[in-house]
Structure 1
C-alpha cells in the first residue's frame, strides 16, 4: 500500500521543506490589509511578523475546500493509493472538521487525522506518520495510531507582549494595559486541543523558568 502523508503549514513544515522530506504541506492563508498570502509560499515568517509589529491588520484563515481537494487529487494522481492528512487541531480551527467532511467523497482513500495538536507536537505527528507509511502501514492504521496518542503532548508558551492577545480578544484592553504596567507575562498552555491560561508571572525570565519547570 503506497500511502502519502500530507499536513498544513501550522506544523511548521513549509512546502519547500516538505519536498525534501517526502511530505506534502498545504500552505495556510494569511490576510494582511485585505491581501491574501500563503505561508512558506509567497510570505516569509519575517514578513508576517513584520506586518504584525508594524501595526498592519493581520488575520489568518482556514484553507479553501478547493485547495484541500486539489492537493488530494494531485497526490492520488501521482500514484499514491491513500493519503493521510494531518491538519491543525479541531479544537483550534474548523479546518479539521471541514476536511473530514470533504474526505467522505474519497471512498476511504483519504484519512483525516484529528490528533489535537499544533506546531511542534503536530510536526512530530507528521514525521511519525511518514515513518509509519514507510513501514508499509495503511492510512487507517496510521490514523488510529496517531489519534490514540493524540493527548500525549504538552506545549507551554510565554508572550512578551499582551498586544496581540488583546487584538485576538483573549484579554481585555484594560487587562492588557494593567499587564504592561506591572510587567505581567502570561504563560499559556496547549494540553491536547485547547489554548488555556496556565499562570501569570512578573517578567520574561520568570516566565521562562516557569515553562522549564
Structure 2
C-alpha cells in the first residue's frame, strides 16, 4: 500500500496569517525575534507585542530584529517528520529583507523529508496571501511543486504599499534600500513606499499625512487590476486611521472584494490588522499599509 502523503506548510510570523488559517492542521508559524536593549523576545504575545515595540521605539530604546537560526528550522522539520509529515513547504518573507529564507534553506538540506523553500519576495500580508494560495492548491489535491508555484505567483501578483510618518526607523534598520537615494535626508516629507523585487522602493512623496493617505489609497486602486481581489490594511498603533481606510476601500472595491479561498468568511470586506513587532520595528508608530492581492483560482494538474 502506498504511503499516505501529508504536507506541512511552514511560514514565519511576519506573514500575519488569519487566526483561522494559523489554526489549521499542519500549518506552523515560526516566530522571528525582536531585540530590545539586548534582550531577545519572540514576536507576538506575550513577548514582543506591537504596543511594546512601539513604546520602545518612542522611548528611543535600541530596537532591532533577528531571524530564526537554521537550527530552529532543523528542529521543526525533524519534529514534523517524526509526527508523520511526508513533505514540507516552507514559505517566507523576502530574502532581500531577512535571513529567514536562508535559514530555512540551510535546514532543508539535511531534513529527513523533502522540503521546498519559497522566497515570496514580499513582506507582511502579501506573504500570508501566498501561504493561502499554496494551501488552496494542496486542499484540491495538488502536489507540493504546484503549491509552491501558486505561492510564488500570488506573491508576485500582489502589491504592497505603505506610508510611514518618518524614514528614521527604516534608515536605522538598513531596510530603506533605494528609497534613501530618492528621499535622502528630506525626512519632512511623508514617504509612500512599496515592495518591489523584494526590497523597499519609493512610490511617491507627499507633504501632508492627509494627502499621503489619499494617495496611498489611489495607488492601491490603480494596482488592483479589473478582477476579484483580497485587500488588507495594516497599521502600527494607528487603529482608527486604519479602520477608516479599510471602510473607504471596502466601499471603493465593492463587489470586486473576495473572501479567503482557505477559510470560510463573512461578507467580503477589506481586512484590518496590526503589524507584528518585527515589521513594526522597521517602520515605526503611525505606519499604514495596503496589500492588494488579485485572486485567481489555483491551477491543479490533472492526472494523465
Moved over 3 A (4+): 16-19, 169-172
1:195 positional shift:
0.8
Deviates more, 1:140-149 or 1:70-79: 140-149
1:72 aligns with 2:77: yes
1:88-144 Cα offsets, whole Å, 9 max, x none, are: 112212321332232122366111112212101101011122222222322222113
1:165 positional shift:
2.9
**Cα distance in 2, alignment partners of residues 212 and 135 from structure 1:** 34
1:56 positional shift:
0.8
- Normalised to the residue count of structure 1, the TM-score between the two structures is 0.86
Counterpart contact for 2:64–2:173, Cα < 8 Å:
no
1:63 positional shift:
0.7
Structure 1's unaligned 5+ residue stretches are none
1:11 positional shift:
0.4
**Cα distance in 1, alignment partners of residues 93 and 52 from structure 2:** 22
Q: Structure 2 residue aligned with 1:20, among 15, 20, 23?
A: 23
**Cα distance in 1, alignment partners of residues 111 and 173 from structure 2:** 36
1:69-95 Cα offsets, whole Å, 9 max, x none, are: 111112222211111101111221232
| Higher helix content, 1 or 2 | 1
Counterpart contact for 2:135–2:147, Cα < 8 Å:
no
Report the secondary structure of 1:137's partner residue: coil
Number of residues of Structure 1 aligned to a counterpart in Structure 2:
207
Report the secondary structure of 1:113's partner residue: strand
Q: 2:192 — aligned with what?
A: 187
1:41-91 Cα offsets, whole Å, 9 max, x none, are: 522121122211111100001111111111111222221111110111122
**Cα distance in 2, alignment partners of residues 145 and 175 from structure 1:** 37
When residues 118 and 19 of structure 1 are mapped into structure 2, their CA distance, relative to the original with a 3 A threshold, is closer
1:148 positional shift:
4.0
Q: Structure 1 residue aligned with 2:211, among 203, 206, 211?
A: 206
**Cα distance in 2, alignment partners of residues 11 and 125 from structure 1:** 9
1:17 positional shift:
6.3
Q: Structure 2 residue aligned with 1:9, among 9, 13, 35?
A: 13
**Cα distance in 2, alignment partners of residues 124 and 10 from structure 1:** 12
Q: 2:90 — aligned with what?
A: 85
Report the secondary structure of 1:79's partner residue: coil
Q: Structure 1 residue aligned with 2:34, among 30, 33, 57?
A: 30
1:175 positional shift:
5.0
